Amino acid sequence: MRATEQTGNDELTCREEGQQRTMSDNSTSSTEELRPHFEDIQAHYDLSDDFFGVFQDPTRKYSCAFFTGPNVSLSEAQIANIDQHLDRLDLKPGMTLLEVGCGWGMTMKRAMERYDVNVIGLTLSKNQQAYCNHLLSQADSDRTFDVRLEGWEQFHSPVDRIVSIEAFEHFGFERYDDFFKTCFDILPDDGRMTIQSSVGYHPYDLQARGKKLTFELARFVKFMITEIFPGGRVPTTQMMVEHGEKAGFVVPETLSLRNHYIKTLGIWASRLEQHKEAAIAATDEENYNRYMKYLTGCQYYFIDESIDVSLVTYLKPGAVAA
């Protein structure tokens, strides 16, 4: 594997559940207004690699896994989720895959080794950039990699395919139009993209399903977007579809992974609790308690069907016609 010139960056955002934002008619015009949220991301992901490693599996993938059977390990399930995305992209050897919010790099490594493609990863985390460069330098592939400490707002080079796994929550509602326009413009006519994101529900949708936006849920979401994911916003699946279609994409599929996140979160919380001393040593007890509250609270609200996670596929016109 060969590294190309590097800069790099990753994106995420969560939002208050049960809240829906109507689509704006105008995308942000000023490049200054589209400065990536470096501080928000680094406040979370540069906390401590050792801390996250306490509850992550060896893939270091910090997102919903996909369990193909009752005896599947978390690592196997994380790879299965990666393959869910890469299989939908119709990758061909020699293509260039862009990952927006590349985390600790396992999706890029899998793409290089199994799908024989070049990869570009964007992250806003210095720790993740360093980790990815080391990981990909050991990949069993002759393809190139480029891990950049930069946001999608700064990226304008043509690529063949795009993947983004649970980074969309960090983008902010007001940037959705800009994000999808950028992706549409840098993809070829037969381009494909997949995005996975935690999603919430409009209060009317909750009501139609016999639920309501409770004070407890609102308080938990406020906790998440202030103490876990600063500046975060959680979209609805409808928002993900409508903003993509507005940019020109066709959306043939949305897939709920809610049951898989329930299991993923349960494993993470159990591991963090089992390794409490190591977690506290990596940061402090206050942070340990904060993340236990986050992981167990998220699992509860996924079980309650108050929040979900969606994998959405986007096709450009040439991919639809193929």
**270 marked as part of a ligand binding site:** no
- How many angstroms separate the Cα of 132 from the Cα of each of 64, 103, 136? 19, 8, 6
Give ∠ CA 80-84-90 in degrees, rounded to 5: 135
**Has 298 been annotated as catalytic?**
yes
**100 marked as part of a ligand binding site:** yes
**128 marked as part of a ligand binding site:** yes
What count of residues does the chain have? 322
R_g of the chain computed on alpha carbons: 19
**149 marked as part of a ligand binding site:** no
Question: What b-and-e string marks burial along 94-120, b requiring 16 or more CB atoms within 10 Å of the CB?
Answer: ebbbbbbbbbbbbbbbbbbebbebbbb
Question: What b-and-e string marks burial along 156-165, b requiring 16 or more CB atoms within 10 Å of the CB?
Answer: eeebbbbbbb
**264 marked as part of a ligand binding site:** no
Rounded distance between C-alpha atoms, residue 201 and residue 19, angstroms: 7
Helix (H) or strand (E) holding 54: helix 49-55
**206 marked as part of a ligand binding site:** no
**137 marked as part of a ligand binding site:** no
**286 marked as part of a ligand binding site:** no
Look at residues 118, 145, 136, 102 and name the one whose alpha carbon lies nearest to residue 9: 102
**103 marked as part of a ligand binding site:** yes
**268 marked as part of a ligand binding site:** no
**Amino acid at site 85:** H
**97 marked as part of a ligand binding site:** yes
> What tokens were used for 210?
């016999």
**62 marked as part of a ligand binding site:** yes
**153 marked as part of a ligand binding site:** yes
**289 marked as part of a ligand binding site:** no
Q: Considering 64, 132, 183, 298, which one is annotated as catalytic?
A: 298
Burial of 298 (0-12, 13-18, 19+ CB in 10 A): buried
**Residue positions forming the annotated binding site:** 62-63, 97-105, 123-128, 152-153
**Residue positions forming the annotated binding site for S-adenosyl-L-methionine:** 62-63, 97-105, 123-128, 152-153
What residues are labeled active site?
Answer: 298
